[in-house]
Amino acid sequence: MNRPLLILILAFILGIIIGTTYQIDIILAMGITVVACGLAIIGIMRTWRHNPWVLFCVFLCLGTLWTSLAIAKANSPVTTLAGKTILVVGEVLERPDVRPDGVFYKLGLSKVTVEGTTKEISGVLRVKVAGKGKVFHYGDILQMKGYLSLPEPPGNPGAFDYRTWLQRQGIAATLSVKDAKEIKLLGRSGHVIIRSAYNIRDHLENIFDRTMSQTGASVLKGIFFGTRGEIPADVQLAFQESGLVHILSVSGYHVGLIAAMVLALLRIIKLPRRFTLWVALPLLLFYAVMTGMGPAVMRATLMASLLLLAHHLGRWQDWPTTLAAAAGIILFFYPLDLFDIGFQLSFVATWGLLYLTPKLNKLLPHMPLSLAVLITVPLAAQLATWPLVVFYFNLVSPVAILANLITAHLVALVMLFGGLGMLAGICYLPWAKFINTATELLTSCFLGLVQMSVSLPGAAWYIPAPPLWLIALYYVFLVAICQLANQPQWQKSLRAGLTVLINYLARVKLVFGGCILLLLMAVWLLWPVNNQLELHFIDVGQGDSTLIITPAQRTILVDAGGWQDELITGQGAGTNRVVPYLHRLGINSLDVLVITHPHTDHAGGARAVLKAFPVKLVVLSPYGFGVGDEVDDGYEILLREMKEQGIAHSTAVAGDQLKVDGLVNIKFLSPAQKYDHTRSDANNSSLVFRLDYLQRSALYTGDIEEEAERDLVQNNALTPIEVLKVPHHGSGYFYHGFFAQLKPKIAVISAGAGNRFGHPAPKTLEELQGLGSRVYRTDQQGAIVLTTDGETWRVKTGK
């Protein structure tokens, strides 16, 4: 068996996948593992010819068993108390995650009190303490009271599954605490080394806080320790879209720099080489503990440690075996880390650097190696990680290679000056302030380059996630091409072909350009037309947002959801639900944004949408522009931002039409003018429009209530409809002739699970069911996606 450790670790990984997919019973998994181990022992004693396959099965069974045990460990009896307010006592297991809106703790439970009864209980909770207050630390034993909940499965297809993520972190449920003042410190525990490491980290981060600007300090803390909670959201987005987000997550790059600096320091002080391992290894491990021992830093630390050990022992350093050993050690202790995005990206990127870089270097034989690696290293990393980035984030960043190329040395300088600043701050804070003046300047230059990268045309765009089989095929082709390209005869032919091609293109630029133009025109003319109309009723919680995609691929977003105060903060349903949903569909711009009325649950997410996408036209209700119009706080911010960005916008009234696709007709039916002196003028002034595509029809109604519905019926503005977006989330304030006039075949209600308004109202549901309508609800079924080719409707739900 060539590289046996690599093969056995792959078997272990396959076992983890099986254990996660099929949720195998622990007793069964244990029994099969015992039998497999028994066969392996017999096989080794009798020297069976098929022993390698027996060992493969043993490790596969071990992977399945370890996974079953990890899943069982994450489950806890405390989940039976979900939906209740409980008093808990537990120990903080990790360094707290401090963010602008609160603090998150990982709490290991010891006691729970509910309804006056106290009992000992095991399990781990993720605790969110809202607001700003006292921050507790690793090892603190706390008593707190909060609301226990189990996150709901995602309602939108492809959305982040918070419950599954918690389970893979070994967390049973979440606890919400209103104020840090309600928490009592009962004592302290924890491992002394880990506590010391975190204390040192806190002290070092405090040096940045006291000697740099808030943004500069947050970025430095991200670079050195992976602390990202304090970095502004727009800065994090810029790093993500430029392909530089790995710099804010401690990984192999950071561990490599730390290892290089440690080794350089040991050489300067002329420490004998036989002692290098015993000094460098503890320092690397201590740094890993300081950064929280995430999968990426653990991978890098383990690989560096194994390579140092191999060098110390004079053994051959085989990178595939070392990489497999690092993965095996991590997965042995944390098998569910296999599904961690950081774990996958870290190992795939390392594979790309070690496997692809030498092969790419061979394709540039006349270029000095020091110059060639500036191109091949970022290219290798991008080629290796690109499919996973697209799969998880739907993001393609063509500028990533350029951005990594122009910032690599600058990041090293930032780390050098930042490290000197930390060392100086330990001795005398004013020295750190002097050094960090230069660090601040370098950091500002670095952030400027990041912003410049993402501002380039086509710097980042989104595409739908590829299927897993296509990702596997990509890696097969990548390896095959690298193997072929590095064969001597292939290399020679490739270089000769490239030379001929470049010389030819230089002579016939005009002819070549004409051919390309003709080819593009042919592709455009022959490209299959999608004759589907798609209506995506997005699950935004208690709110409303619908995406319309016409057969000509024109995009119309009707409302953008909105959570409490989102018009003021700009954060909520727009950033967490609507924008990611559009990105997963590969949408990079919007033709029209319709905001039916100026209430937060419909308009709140619009600020995030306008920031994330170019929008050609915004259509607004006439209500919200006059003196005395009652709009939600922050609506004026939205209007001001549209004006500042130069976005075209206009109001619509009954009789207006919207043309974005020749096959789709959109006609506004209400309001004829804004309502006054009704139960809710803003709701009744919602934009109402009918959409027709061939023989199919749909009606969008915003939050209109009884008065507006009565006017539509009495003015004979309504005819039977096939799809109805039910007004006002299914509110009971409706005109009884409204639904009877429409006779909808499909009724869609957008509402939040367990909302305090009681939406949808029972009498609304009874009315619709009495008409024979099929009722779909986002609070129960998640996103509702309707598609039609003009003949029939097809329905898919998110849950």
Query: What are the pLDDT digits (tens) for 355-372?
Result: 888 888 887 777 787 777
Q: Please, what sign has the CA dihedral across residues 721, 723, 728, 729? A: positive
Q: Using pLDDT thresholds of 50, 70 and 90, give the confidence band for residue 314.
A: low
661 beta partners? 664
pLDDT, tens only, 702-729: 999 999 999 999 988 889 999 999 999 9
How far are the Cα atoms of 333, 338, 394 from residue 7, in angstroms, in the given order?
Answer: 19, 16, 31
The CA distance from 766 to 748, in Å, is 14
Q: Which residue has the higher pLDDT, 261 or 529?
A: 261
Q: Using pLDDT thresholds of 50, 70 and 90, give the confidence band for residue 528.
A: very low
Candidate from 392-406, 737-751, 778-792 with smallest mean pLDDT:
392-406
Candidate from 318-322, 639-643, 746-750 with smallest mean pLDDT:
318-322
Locus of tokens 């018009």: 567
Q: Using pLDDT thresholds of 50, 70 and 90, give the confidence band for residue 526.
A: very low
Structure token digits, residue 409: 């040395």
pTM comes to 0.84
Q: Tell me, rounded to whole angstroms, the distance of Cα 585 from its chain centroid.
A: 14
CA dihedral 83→84→90→93, nearest 10 degrees, is 20
pLDDT of residue 780: 93
Structure token digits, residue 473: 């095929």
The CA distance from 28 to 35, in Å, is 11
Helix (H, G, I), strand (E, B) or coil at 118: strand
pLDDT of residue 502: 54
Q: Which residues contact 757 (CB under 8 A, 6 or more apart)?
A: 542, 729, 731
The CA distance from 684 to 713, in Å, is 14
Residue 461 has pLDDT above 80, yes or no: yes
The CA distance from 763 to 550, in Å, is 34
Phi/psi for 240 (5° steps) reads -65, -45
The CA distance from 725 to 602, in Å, is 13
CB burial readout 466-491, b (16+ within 10 A) else e = eeeeebeeeeeebeeebeeeeeeeee
**Are the CB atoms for 135 and 227 separated by under 8 Å?**
no
Q: Using pLDDT thresholds of 50, 70 and 90, give the confidence band for residue 316.
A: low
**Are the CB atoms for 537 and 525 separated by under 8 Å?**
no
Q: Name the residue among 85, 89, 124, 82 with its Cα closest to residue 106.
A: 124
pLDDT of residue 158: 87
